[in-house]
Structure 1
Amino acid sequence: MSTPSRPWDATGYDASFGFVTAYGAPLLDLLGAAPGERVLDLGCGTGHQAAQLAAAGVRVLGVDGDAAMLDRARREHPGVAFAHADAQDEEALRAAAGPVPYDAVLSNAAMHWMPRQDAVVAGVAAVLRPGGRLVVEMGGVGNVARVTRAIRAARADVGLDPDVASPWTFPTPGEQASRLERHGFLVRMVALVDRTTPLADGVGAAGWAAMFGAGLVDDVPAPDRSAFDSAVDRHARSEGLDVRPDGEPGWWIDYVRLRFHAVRR
């Protein structure tokens, strides 16, 4: 997981938002890493998918830009290799990666935190062998649109600018395909995936915003925080996020994921 405007709460992330790893299972299938292959997990967060790969005999390195995430990853998975680097800095990524090239790069739920997308793709190309695979799932166009509207409305309620810049980058399939091709990749697949995502019991829209909202919530003054959180949940209810699409009560988030598979030429 790359670093937003402040450090991650790695413990809370694992405790309440384990769906991030769970929903990454299709990526591992798409990657199809064989025992002995070298794989770089880009934006590895707390390291659970890297550990799954290592358990399958893959030689994996998890790379992340957030020290708290990496500290937890190393505690939870002491037999897995991890390194700190900003994936948007090609030189730093190459230094963290160690001996290159890699057979594949995997990234789950991380690249939308990286505004310099071209720099990320260039860095990935630099560490992959010809024929190496890049398999990614990230936020795509339309991702978290409802909950973002709720957060912006809540900002207005407490006297803050509702139009503050988004902390995320959500490309279209066409934008990302063009970017990959510019950096020497052959695109095998790129698609948007609607993914209704239930939240854990006791976690509402405000709880999601506190973990993932970064620049949308970090400037809320402490005296206004309770009112802001209540407003986020209230506006999220008006967006229908408190009743799941199957009609069952419960909070959910309107994820739209951009999934792609590309091969370095």
Structure 2
Amino acid sequence: MNTSGTTNTPVSMMETLAHWHFRRIEECSTLLQWLDPRPGERILDIGCGDGYYDARIASRGAHVVGVDIHEKRLAKAQRKHRSERTDYHYMDAEELGFEPATFDKVISFCVIEHFQNEDRVLEHVNRVLRPGGRIFLSADSLSNPEVTHEEREAHRKRYAVNNFYTVDHLREKLARAGLELERYHYILTTPITLALARLSWKLDDLPPLLAPLHGLGYAVLGTVGKVIADFAEDHARRPDSGLTLLAEARKI
């Protein structure tokens, strides 16, 4: 789930904290496992941010190209993670400027829900993927039965979200772009993990003056909260709804 939207905490701090926030750990580790980067593969990261995950992918021998429209985050990616197997571009994913069949795989961590025209993004993904290429993505869902309409609307505003996704909604959009959904997985599905997420939303709404408290809260959620969330998911995971939807699709 994206945590770098329009919150009151500085973006640099938010992005650093997000890498070990309980909301992101299962999401990102699962997508990276599905991605299974291989030496020599070319992988596009849409919404690469500070390049943290690109460095991990590149360490497996793949060449990673990251695109984003946030100049400060791209500058951090260039400074900290630029290597012979990583490359970064200031580029809007709705106007991907790569040649057809350039990439073996595409990955995107909770970015698609922020686009004004995600259909165009997926059409570009299809175009730049090689035959049989795959996309791995996560998206905000908030499909838990306990999530209220008011919470969804607050989430839209807090994180600049345009769309929420269920598996049926995403499958339809992928199909229109020439991509076939092959597997999916909801995470943060239980009332307990929703309660922890609600706490994190309150932390994200704190004013800048209380930024140290925000950081402390994230640290607690990243340790104790993660243990509680894992226990709840292991014992009562729902297969058909959750705060975040993970998906893998293949170019038809």
Larger radius of gyration: 1
Question: Which residue is 1:71 aligned to?
Answer: 75
Question: Which residue is 1:48 aligned to?
Answer: 52
Question: Which residue is 1:192 aligned to?
Answer: 186
Measure the CA separation in 2 of the matches of 1:82 and 1:66: 12
Measure the CA separation in 1 of the matches of 2:175 and 2:156: 33
**Residue identity in the other structure for 2:136:** V
Question: Which residue is 2:39 aligned to?
Answer: 35
Question: Which residue is 1:178 aligned to?
Answer: 172
The answer (yes or no) to whether the contact 1:39–1:61 under 8 Å persists in 2 is: yes
Structure 2: 5+ residue runs without aligned partners? Answer: 211-216, 218-224, 233-241
Measure the CA separation in 1 of the matches of 2:41 and 2:247: 20
- Which one of 22, 27, 30 corresponds to residue 26 of structure 1? 30
The answer (yes or no) to whether the contact 1:2–1:111 under 8 Å persists in 2 is: no
Question: Which residue is 2:151 aligned to?
Answer: 149
Question: Which residue is 2:203 aligned to?
Answer: 207
Question: What does 1:10-25 align with in structure 2 at a 5 Å threshold?
Answer: 10-19=11-20, 22-23=25-26, 24-25=28-29
**Residue identity in the other structure for 2:160:** P
Question: What's the CA shift for 1:188?
Answer: 0.6
Q: How many equivalent pairs are there?
A: 215
The answer (yes or no) to whether the contact 1:4–1:113 under 8 Å persists in 2 is: no
The answer (yes or no) to whether the contact 2:3–2:159 under 8 Å persists in 1 is: no
Measure the CA separation in 1 of the matches of 2:165 and 2:78: 32
Instruction: Give the 3-state SS of the residue equivalent to 2:175 in structure 1.
Output: helix
Q: Aligned pair in 2 of structure 1 residues 25, 9: CA closer, same or farther (>3 Å)?
A: same
Question: Which residue is 1:85 aligned to?
Answer: 91
Measure the CA separation in 1 of the matches of 2:125 and 2:89: 15
Measure the CA separation in 2 of the matches of 1:105 and 1:2: 21
Q: Aligned pair in 2 of structure 1 residues 29, 118: CA closer, same or farther (>3 Å)?
A: same
Q: Percent identity?
A: 24
Question: What's the CA shift for 1:126?
Answer: 1.2
Question: Which residue is 1:261 aligned to?
Answer: 248
Structure 1: 5+ residue runs without aligned partners? Answer: 153-161, 211-219, 227-232, 234-240, 248-254
The answer (yes or no) to whether the contact 2:139–2:244 under 8 Å persists in 1 is: yes
Q: Aligned pair in 2 of structure 1 residues 19, 113: CA closer, same or farther (>3 Å)?
A: farther
**Residue identity in the other structure for 1:260:** A
Question: What does 1:109-258 align with in structure 2 at a 5 Å threshold?
Answer: 109-142=110-143, 145=147, 149=151, 152=154, 167-168=160-161, 169-194=163-188, 196=193, 205-209=201-205, 256-258=243-245
Instruction: Give the 3-state SS of the residue equivalent to 2:138 in structure 1.
Output: strand
Instruction: Give the 3-state SS of the residue equivalent to 2:116 in structure 1.
Output: coil
Measure the CA separation in 2 of the matches of 1:38 and 1:138: 23
Question: Which residue is 2:107 aligned to?
Answer: 106
CA RMSD of aligned residues (A): 4.0
Instruction: Give the 3-state SS of the residue equivalent to 2:188 in structure 1.
Output: strand
Instruction: Give the 3-state SS of the residue equivalent to 1:149 in structure 2.
Output: helix
The answer (yes or no) to whether the contact 2:100–2:127 under 8 Å persists in 1 is: no
